[in-house]
Amino acid sequence: MAKNKNNKAFWNLRIKKKGSSLFEKVGSSIDIDKRLYKEDILGSIAHVEMLFKQKIISFKIKNKIVYGLQKIEKQISKNNFEFDKKYEDIHMNIEKKLFQLIGDEAGYIHTARSRNDQVITDFKMWIKSATKEINLNIEKIIKSTLKLSEKNIETVMPGFTHLKNAQPISLAHYLMAYVEIFKRDKRRFINNLESLNESPLGVAAIAGTSFNIDRNYTSKKLGFKNPTNNSIDTISDRDFVLDFLYSTSVCSMHISRIAEELIIWNSDGFKLINLSDKIVTGSSIMPQKKNPDPAELIRGRVGLNYGNLSSMLTIMKGLPMSYFKDLQDDKKLVFDGFDTLNDSLILSLELVNSVKPNKKNMLKMANEGYTTATDFADYLVKEKNLSFRESYAIAAKLVNYAEKKNKLLIELSLQEIKKIYKNLKKKILKIFDVNNSVNSKKSYGGTSIANVKVMIRKYKKEIK
């Protein structure tokens, strides 16, 4: 410890006056970036192994450092490590501890690197595993959604546009719209892996290094594909942070839509589903209540994710090359973005698992709002050789008639329908059957039962 007797931070040796304690508090990021400790230690071990391989440090020193780092890893994971704000961040806390454990030879660890490349190396590794964890959770939701879909291939409900009854659909088809959404969310996260797979380690402070290092070696060792190309860009770049925060924002926006939808379906106005007691909460005054609080949290928390993205975009705006302290707060935003989304995904899984469709009400509602009026118009086009616009006008008349008589389309008699269009036979009545309506939508991507079955099979194969 000879060179560190005074217990000063290593990078403060030229600074004579004691720093302000306020800055120590505000400038320190250890409370946040201690989450990077595993990656930091992995990165340091790969770095010293490379330094040894390149004959920059001796075998003995390399071993001593690796031994010390592994010991520190254990201490931190066992909660047996005291982090100190004075040493600012995770990198310096670990380095300081290394000095305490193995003595002055710890000083060789920072040869040919800087915290500037160190921090992004750790951070990229962390975001890579966070990305994988998110995608695993998305996959679980896809699986649950498919299970629910399989049970509801023939459950007919109204599809809504503008939240007005539009056309009858299979509930499974509706649910599998979510599957498509989640597949795109997964893809969006996977796309980010390309830049996350470039290793920053070895670009040092800004210019690269005069030591004969092997960046390909550390890159490979740490699971990256290749080293980054430009030292200046590398320490300036936080695009990978923005990509991650954007992907978390889009994904949380999607689950907020699903949550809102289920809140509406569960409402007393709609009564299309019930949510199991696991996912509802009571009221402190109204004994009858079962409120969908968790779904509301999912809906609301997308705001936090947008906030993180917009904060990071703002931090980056107008920032010249290369490293600035401004960038330190990127960790706070990413960790919060990850935690928020991951919690919401876990809640979403519970939510999907707790949905119990109210099939009777779905069918009833599918018959309301004249949802088969378009089927009638289509029939006239196909059977009576009318233009779609002509048949649309006739179907609109029929809807007006039904509305006046306060009847559903399915309740109209042949005679009544013939008042609107003469030349019709009894089989026209089938056109107003919502099941027939669903089954007639055989176009690719449509809601027919046959299509739905094919899609379930396809998704299940993909997800295996």
Q: Which residues bind ligand ARG (CB under 6 A)?
A: 29, 89, 115-116, 119, 323, 327-328
Cα distances from 56 to residues 62, 108, 115, 444, in angstroms, run 10, 9, 19, 63
Nearer to ligand ARG, 94 or 119 (CB): 119
- For the record, the structure tokens of 163 come out as 């939240």
For 193-209, b/e burial (b = at least 16 CB within 10 A) is eeebebbbbbbbebebb
Minimum separation from the CB atom of position 234 to ligand ARG (A)? 13
Minimum separation from the CB atom of position 19 to ligand ARG (A)? 13
Q: Is 283 a catalytic residue?
A: yes
Nearer to ligand ARG, 116 or 391 (CB): 116
Nearer to ligand ARG, 39 or 89 (CB): 89
Asked if residue 378 lies in contact with residue 391, where contact means CB atoms within 8 angstroms, the answer is yes
Minimum separation from the CB atom of position 24 to ligand ARG (A)? 13
User: Beta strands of 253-338 (E only): which ranges?
Assistant: 273-275
Cα distances from 317 to residues 27, 183, 320, 329, 397, in angstroms, run 21, 31, 9, 14, 58
- For the record, the structure tokens of 436 come out as 């027939």
Residue of 58, 283, 310, 413 marked active site: 283
Q: Is 24 exposed, middle or buried (0-12, 13-18, 19+ CB in 10 A)?
A: middle
Minimum separation from the CB atom of position 94 to ligand ARG (A)? 12
Nearer to ligand ARG, 246 or 323 (CB): 323
Nearer to ligand ARG, 114 or 358 (CB): 114
Q: Is 352 exposed, middle or buried (0-12, 13-18, 19+ CB in 10 A)?
A: buried
Minimum separation from the CB atom of position 329 to ligand ARG (A)? 8
Asked if residue 366 lies in contact with residue 168, where contact means CB atoms within 8 angstroms, the answer is yes
Q: 3-state DSSP call for residue 168?
A: strand
Minimum separation from the CB atom of position 355 to ligand ARG (A)? 43
Nearer to ligand ARG, 244 or 265 (CB): 244
CA atoms of 396 and 402, how far apart (whole Å): 10
Hunting for tokens 């923005």 — which residue is that?
242
Q: Is 91 a catalytic residue?
A: no
Task: Identify the helix (H) or strand (E) that includes residue 184.
Answer: helix 171-191
Minimum separation from the CB atom of position 287 to ligand ARG (A)? 51
> Residue 226 pairs with which residues in a beta bridge?
198
Nearer to ligand ARG, 86 or 460 (CB): 86
Closest CA to 50 of 287, 221, 293, 197: 221
Residues designated catalytic:
162, 283
